[in-house]
Structure 1
Amino acid sequence: MEKKIREKLSGCTVGIGGLGGLGSSIAVLLARSGIGRLILADFDVVDESNIYRQQYIKTQIGMKKTDAIRQIIEWIDDRVQVDTFDEKLSGTRACEIFEDADIVIEAFDNPKSKADMVGAVLKNTGKKIVCASGIAGHGPGDEIVSKKVLSNLYVVGDGGRGIVEGEKLMATRVAIAASKQAHLAVRIMIGEEE
């Protein structure tokens, strides 16, 4: 069974917009799951503050996130085809970049960027998209759930819990959401989630 699933995933392509705490973790999880191709987009560089909740390591500080995550994925499995775009995505550009993706994953911090990309992909491509919302703080991990909200839109999150004064994004909670996004994408690609 696992061999059949890995064979199916090896023929799939996933697009990820944003390579921060969510996106870098999702990319690593999908590479470890046997995905064939990743299309990754982010405009930022690895900063020391990223080390505490993202997949990057200290020697990558100052690198473009696209280059750094490509390096990490090559260390994990050099058979994964990684296409990167070092740019800030608009909704229109996301549709172009992720044209060949079987599924698109939104992993942005900025609410406007989230809405712009998700809206454009839903309106113009018909592709299934998995996004995240409401993952801040250090509340219980079991509050983070996956929901199908439209025929091709899935949301992972806690239903809108915002950051409380003094709270920060916690690596553990971000990792839970990233794992749920990656797992949901795998289930969709192997036909176990509609």
Structure 2
Amino acid sequence: MVPTHEEMHLALTQRHGATLQAKFDAGRVAICGLGGLGSNVAIALARAGVGQLHLIDFDRVDLTNLNRQQYTVDQLGRYKTEALAETLERIAPYCTLRMDTVKATEDNLPVLLAGDDIICEAFDVPEAKAMLVSGVLEHVPEKYLVAASGMAGLGSANTICTRRAFGRLYLCGDEASDVSDGLGLVSARVAVCAAHQANMILRLLAGETEP
């Protein structure tokens, strides 16, 4: 039996306290890219009771995604927005989900992100990462942006950290490791970086601006 909204909210309030949970309730977070980073970030935020998640990705679930992304074999071939929304609805049925199955571009960013307070950059491709960061800084500089750089390989998880780059831009990762160096993306280390991003987003929702 699915618990009521009131029952789930009470359980979250008991864990987080009423004041903090109210801030999470009011959160509106865009997750740009729903791969190894974004799918893990979305689940962490949904479990924390963030009120609205905006899922943005144009890709479909592929067999090569299953080593690190929060999808299942029966979801192969489906759009990631739809597959992840299905999972999130099972975890947090009262979370408001917005889905845009589109490719984010510098031209559509201002409209695409208009209703969001915090933006999570979770793309796999360096060019897409750079586009989103520069686009947000140029078009919507008033919004917080939590980006990621460096999580490949099996290096120590302790090298992954969160820092405030400048203004409202935060970077999570080791800022060095790259798949172009022949290093693969391994689920555990990618998940560590995603947890850093999710934690920073929750801190920002709570009013904490330092990493």
TM-score, structure 1 normalization: 0.96
Is the aligned partner of 1:78 residue 2:93?
yes
Distance 2:155 2:146 in 1: 22
Identity of aligned residues (%): 38
Check whether the contact 1:25–1:55 (CA below 8 A) recurs between aligned residues.
yes
- Structure 1 stretch displaced more, 131-140 or 162-171: 162-171
Are 1:91 and 1:118, in contact at CA under 8 Å, matched by a contact in 2?
no
Aligned to 1:181: 197
* Larger CA deviation: 163-172 vs 16-25: 163-172
Offset of residue 173 of structure 1 = 0.5
The partner residue of 1:139 within 155, 162, 168 is: 155
Cα RMSD, aligned residues only: 1.3
SS of the residue corresponding to residue 71 of structure 2 reads coil
Counterparts of 1:146-185 in structure 2, within 5 Å, are 146-163=162-179, 166-185=182-201
1:41/1:87 contact within 8 Å kept: yes
TM-score, normalised relative to structure 2: 0.88
Q: How far, CA to CA, are the matches of 1:157 and 1:49 in structure 2?
A: 22
The answer to whether the Cα contact below 8 Å between 1:133 and 1:156 also exists between their aligned partners in 2 is: yes
Q: Retained in 1: the 8 A contact 2:177–2:183?
A: no
Shift of 1:91: 2.2
In the TM superposition, what is the alpha-carbon distance from 1:26 to its structure 2 partner?
A: 0.4
2:39 is the counterpart of 1:27: no
Which structure: larger Rg? 2
- The 2-side partners of 1:154 and 1:164 are apart by 23
CA distance in 1, matches of 2:87, 2:47: 11
Whole-Å Cα distance in 2 between the matches of residues 2 and 96 of structure 1?
34
- The structure 1 residue matched to 2:139, chosen from 109, 116, 124, is 124
Unaligned runs of 5+ in 1: none
Distance 2:49 2:140 in 1: 25
Compute the displacement of 1:87 (Å): 1.1
Task: Select 2:52's aligned residue among 37, 41, 44.
Answer: 37
Query: Aligned in 2, Cα 1:166/1:159: closer, same or farther, shift over 3 Å?
Result: closer
Q: 1:95: Cα distance to partner?
A: 2.5
